Amino acid sequence: MRALRPPPGVPGTPLALEGVGRRYGSRGPWVLRDVELAVPAGTLLRIVGTNGTGKSTQLRIVAGIDQPTAGRVRGRPRTAYVPERFPAELPFTAVGYLTHLGRVHGLRGRRAAHAAARWLERFGAAGHAHTPLAELSKGTSQKVAVAQALLAEPELLVLDEAWTGLDQRARGELDRAVAERVADGGAVVFVDHDPRRLTGAADAVYRVQGTGLAPWDPRGPLTTDAPARPGAAGRRIRIEAVGPPGAAPPDGLPGAPEVAGAADGGTALTVPAAHSDALLRALLTARPPWHIRTVTEPPAPDGPVGPADCVGHPPSGGGHP
Amino acid sequence: MIGVQSGQPILDSLGYTAAGLLPMAAWLVRVCVTGDLPAARQVAAAATSPARVHLACVLTALLCSTVLGALATLLVARISGAHGADRRVAVPVGEATVGGLLAAVACALLGTAVGALCNWPLLRRPGYALLATALAALVALVQAPSPAHAAVHDLVSGSHSGAVPMPVPACAAAALLCAVATAVACALSSRRA
């Protein structure tokens, strides 16, 4: 849990789609075609697009559940997937299912049961650990779906609207868990109908256009002086820390913070809000450790989240629950 | 007189038991392959691979039908009469039981092959899948080159001569067919959503 993101320059690319196409049936229309996508380690990728454009197909190919009709998928890291809907009518209790999935993911002996209990607790579902899956509410069922993906600390986490159905607290917890995976060098690919989900935290955003996939700057042409990082708007957290005298911040900090000098020899690091916990953990566990002086939320430089973030996401939500 | 009853000729009864196992094995594959919800299946497939999830389903069905077939064979061997079809030739129960077990295994393997080929991912519509399973199971039992037919036929004709058959070649052939059919189904499991 303590490894930092691999330093820039040596990024592993555990998964790459090369000229991938997918159609259903030998004469069906192409759902996706000529898709190129590299999923480097330690990155958070978002895929956007209106409903019915093949986002879920895209995610299933990334997760290795679906094989492309054309092109190839290079590499297959240890993967976990959270489906859009998880109506788990299986003959297991919540903790029994998670323990079983932990073993499927490769956890040995009691580690699977421990991880199952820990993640249920983290999502506030420990009280339902021994409830049969078929009797769980929709929200708790979704917590189980999310927990099964996180408990084995996968190298690649694929989330298809995983936040839908979770309560407010669990959504925040999932945001932080995603940032942790990325900070630990894992890759996360996600789709969510809420345009503000993990705003500013994504390293890259891709948009399904027609049957293709294109890198997308969510700020679009509206602001010409936009930072290079896509989605730089959104809540950010400023951490003022003091390191060993004369030392620069460690390489590969979570969330690629903006570094600036601060008063009394301190250093100010600003990251998207979702990465702040992971950044604090990285600073506190660095060797030698950094001292945290203040944690503040500065006012967003561009004001509130602009409508540019909503491009491609009709405010109606397109019929999402 | 066809059927399994107490005191009936042992080899005949074992033959019918093995024959009855074949459609049941095919049905068990359908139960295991289509029983999981797609979401649960996808979650497991991401953690391993679609082919391994499908293999697990088929192997579970094969294990169930083999165990059931073995139990049924032992029960039938116990209640049947140790004689041939004409009730004059004596048939050794031990040897007959081993022959019957081999025939049951051959039928379980071939039934599993039928189930693997006649269900998802090869046949997705329930109507076609059921029709194909029924036809294929029937053909596998009555058509000459089928190892299940050979195994059952050997038992029934052995009952007339009093010689207990050991359908080892039929078992090997059925195992090969089952492996090929399962491999085809597993290979296709990631291509059909």
User: In this structure, is residue A113 part of a structural domain?
Assistant: no
> Do residues A277 and A183 lie in contact, with contact meaning Cβ atoms separated by under 8 Å?
no
Annotate A236-302 with DSSP letters as a single string: EEEEEEE-STTPPPPTT-TT--EEEE-GGG-EEEEEEGGGHHHHHHHHHHSSSPPEEEEEE-PPPTT
User: In this structure, is residue A26 part of a structural domain?
Assistant: no
User: In this structure, is residue A249 part of a structural domain?
Assistant: yes
Residues of A in contact with B190 (CB under 8 A): 64-67
Rounded to the nearest angstrom, the minimum Cα separation between B185 and chain A is: 14
Higher pLDDT, residue A237 or A156:
A156
User: What pLDDT, in 10s, does the model give residues B141-181?
Assistant: 999 899 999 999 999 999 999 899 999 999 999 999 999 99
B46 near A CB under 8 A: yes
**How many Å separate Cα B24 from the centre of its chain?**
7
B187 near A CB under 8 A: no
Give, as one character, the DSSP assignment of residue A132.
B
Model confidence at B133: pLDDT above 90: yes
Note the ipTM here. 0.85
User: In this structure, is residue A174 part of a structural domain?
Assistant: no
Q: pLDDT at position A26, please? A: 82
User: What pLDDT, in 10s, does the model give residues A8-63?
Assistant: 333 467 899 999 999 988 888 999 999 999 999 999 999 998 888 889 999 999 99
- What CA–CA distances, in Å, run from A301 to A232, A308, A309, B63, B170? 10, 15, 15, 64, 77
User: In this structure, is residue A278 part of a structural domain?
Assistant: yes
User: In this structure, is residue A12 part of a structural domain?
Assistant: no
- Among B38, B32, B35, residue whose Cα is nearest residue B56: B32
Residue B1: both structure tokens together: 């007189």
Size of the A and B interface in Cβ pairs below 8 Å: 68
- Best of B34, B36, B41, B43 to substitute, by most chain A Cβ atoms within 10 angstroms, is B43
User: What pLDDT, in 10s, does the model give residues A112-146?
Assistant: 999 999 999 999 999 999 999 999 999 999 999 99
- Residue range of the domain that includes A273: 236-296
The tally of domains found in chain A comes to 1
The ranges assigned to domains in chain B are 10-188
User: In this structure, is residue A283 part of a structural domain?
Assistant: yes
- Mean pLDDT to the nearest integer, B93-114: 97
Interchain CB distance below 8 Å, A65 and B37? no
* B146-149 CB contacts, 8 Å cutoff, 24+ apart: B146/B110, B147/B106, B147/B110, B147/B171, B147/B173, B147/B174, B147/B177, B148/B18, B148/B19, B148/B22, B148/B106, B148/B107, B148/B110, B148/B111, B148/B174
| Residue A50, C-beta contacts closer than 8 angstroms, at least 6 positions apart | A312, A313, A314, A318
Nearest to B190 among A67, A83, A104 (CB): A67
B43 near A CB under 8 A: yes
Give me the percent of chain B exceeding a pLDDT of 70.
98
Residue B6: both structure tokens together: 């107490």
User: In this structure, is residue A245 part of a structural domain?
Assistant: yes
Model confidence at A229: pLDDT above 70: no
Interchain CB distance below 8 Å, B47 and A105? yes
A243 near B CB under 8 A: no
Backbone φ and ψ for A226, nearest 5 degrees, come out as -65, 145
Model confidence at B40: pLDDT above 80: yes
Interchain CB distance below 8 Å, B39 and A64? no
